[in-house]
Structure 1
């Protein structure tokens, strides 16, 4: 596995006139070429670590595979120009699907590469962005306490060890809605990569579809994050920041519960608010001050 952090010297300036140089830890960003049966499929910019999970989750997001039995193995491999000055060959990953599985369609091949900020850049056509999921999240009977949901961001934050050093990574975590158990947490310079790593973990542990679970992310919610949740059979997505209009529209069409601005003792529920058990307001307080905000 490659390095998660690198040290760089910075000049720190403060408004009181202080000026000094010191080492600073920064998050590593490197390209990962994903191949299937030897054929290049995509190049994504990511933080090294959990690469097999990342690639497996990417294939789930793209609708190539949907269950653990569809995946056979993965190997890091080298090739012309992949060694680098330090001889690293960990930036090329070749995946093998189970016998009988269809190889990815050329239609989903990335024209150039997937950046750490955008997981759908370079997709062959905008019409291909919205995938058809194997799983129907609208029928999932998930029911979760708002107190548990409100605690998920802090519990994810506790797992972000590399963020503690660099301040530069997104996080994603999966929680069991019935027990509140933290199942897995991952970090990456790209928010979509962090989610793919979580989904890939589930695939490799034969846990798809991820029924009765909540996906917690550390930032905003874009269309692609909702899509990834739906493709993995996750019925609820929670975020500490804002959703986009397309994210809300897709969540509504798919029947996914979308919570955003999950901060402190409040949250906004944009879709399928019925899955969050809204608490009764104490008799001595104004109901609107205590109830969770519900936006449909």
Structure 2
């Protein structure tokens, strides 16, 4: 029986997280292959030291066994990945419950996620549209007031929710550019320095991404580029819904003189959500899509993409950039 060394872990008391440690431990190799937690076609006698590690819902991460190949050497070590789990969403009105479906998301902030989603879908405008929100580990039920207009068949027909698709199943593509939202604020301007400050601020607050590299982020920023709120999720649309839901629950909508900053590309769906809640400026680290640019121009939203310390590209609403 041969022996190979591999990294183990130590607990850091100040954070409660597992960190790489220089100490080593033996890993056994049998005649029928490496005993590596079932990675690949390995023996059922695989070591399971890391298999039962629970998710860290503070950081929205969980550790999983992995094999790292680096500089010609192979190591067995646990690695952190972003948590993805199912969430059931339902609406209750006048004593009847309507199941909207299941979405995949990173756990935590489920209440904000669902409220933001329902706002983007036009079901609610503010906290005055519902009486309460009932949450559990994998389910959210929003209790609408009797006075809130709600067509369950229309909503379920128009939407299919996943972590990567914000408006799959929309019934009328020709109507997508014509949306209803608050009037956008025009009494301010921003500079490249302020855009850069907002982008850097968002990046510095992506705690889950720092651990896993597997989440998107959306943030609210003041006109001087100071980040005031950030939400992360494995789905870019979920991160935006969480951000919007948080603002709604704090009665801070419609948005006025603020920026919304996204860590990736500017898609049509993200621009649509930003417009519906009143953001006059969207800043994206990545590229925009053609429909995102068209929608921003249609409604007078300032869209700044490829934003970093050295450059930015303005695709619409240049009147707000000086």
TM-score higher than 0.5: yes
Structure 1 gaps of 5+ residues are 77-88, 278-296
Q: Conserved in 2, the CA contact under 8 Å of 1:12 and 1:22?
A: yes
CA distance in 2, matches of 1:131, 1:36: 26
1:30 to 82, 85, 88: 85
Contact in 1 for aligned 2:201/2:226 (Cα 8 Å): no
Counterpart position of 2:170: 123
| Residues 196 and 225 in structure 2, CA contact (< 8 A), matched pair in contact too | no
Instruction: Give the deviation of 1:273 after TM superposition.
Output: 0.7
Mapping of residues 12-31 of structure 1, within 5 Å: 12-14=68-70, 16-31=71-86
Please state how far the C-alpha of 1:176 moved relative to its aligned partner: 1.7
Q: Per-residue displacement from partner, 1:158-190 (whole Å, max 9, x unpaired)? A: 11111111110000000121x544221000000
Partner of 1:271: 316
**Per-residue displacement from partner, 1:96-126 (whole Å, max 9, x unpaired)?**
1234111244222157842211111233443
Aligned residue number for residue 93 of structure 1: 140
Q: Distance in 2 between matches of 1:43 and 1:104?
A: 18
More relative contact order, 1 or 2 (CA 8 Å, 6+ apart): 1
Alpha-carbon distance change, 130 to 272 in structure 1, aligned in 2, over 3 angstroms:
closer
Under a length normalisation based on structure 1, what TM-score does the superposition of the two structures give?
A: 0.83
Partner in structure 1 of residue 203 of structure 2: 157
Give yes or no for contact 1:114–1:122 (8 Å, CA) kept in 2.
no
Deviation string 1:45-85 (CA, Å, 9 cap, x unpaired) is: 11001111111110111111122322321112xxxxxxxxx
Structure 1 residue aligned with 2:111: 52
1:36 CA drift (Å): 1.0
- Please give the alpha-carbon distance, in whole angstroms, between the structure 2 residues aligned to 1:145 and 1:273: 11
Once the 2 structures are TM-superposed, how far is the Cα of residue 230 of structure 1 from its aligned partner? 0.4
Q: Is the 8 A contact 2:65 2:76 kept in 1?
A: yes
Q: Hey, what's the Cα distance between the residues in 1 that align with 2:163 and 2:250? A: 25
Q: Could you say what secondary structure the match of 1:263 adopts? A: coil
How high is the TM-score relative to the length of structure 2? 0.76
Structure-2 change in CA distance of 1:145 and 1:165 (3 Å): same
Aligned residues: 262
Q: What is the alpha-carbon distance in structure 2 between the residues aligned to residue 111 and residue 265 of structure 1?
A: 41
Q: Does 1:259 align with 2:304?
A: yes
Answer whether contact 1:63 1:133 (CA < 8 A) is retained: no
Q: Distance in 2 between matches of 1:131 and 1:60?
A: 16
In structure 2, relative to structure 1, the CA distance for the partners of 1:93 and 1:152 (3 Å cut) is same
Q: CA deviation at 1:274?
A: 1.1
* Residue 234 (1) aligns with residue 279 (2): yes
More strand by proportion, 1 or 2?
A: 2
> Cα gap change, 1:22/1:61 in structure 2, threshold over 3 Å: closer, same or farther?
same
Cα RMSD between the aligned structures?
2.0
Q: 1:102 aligns to what? A: 149
State the SS of the aligned residue for 1:270.
strand
CA distance in 1 between counterparts of 2:256 and 2:64 reads: 43
1:128 and 1:69 map into 2 onto residues whose CA distance is 27
For 2:264, what is the secondary structure of its paired residue?
Answer: coil
Q: CA deviation at 1:127?
A: 4.7
1:191-206 counterparts in 2 under 5 A?
191-206=236-251
Rg larger in 1 or in 2? 2
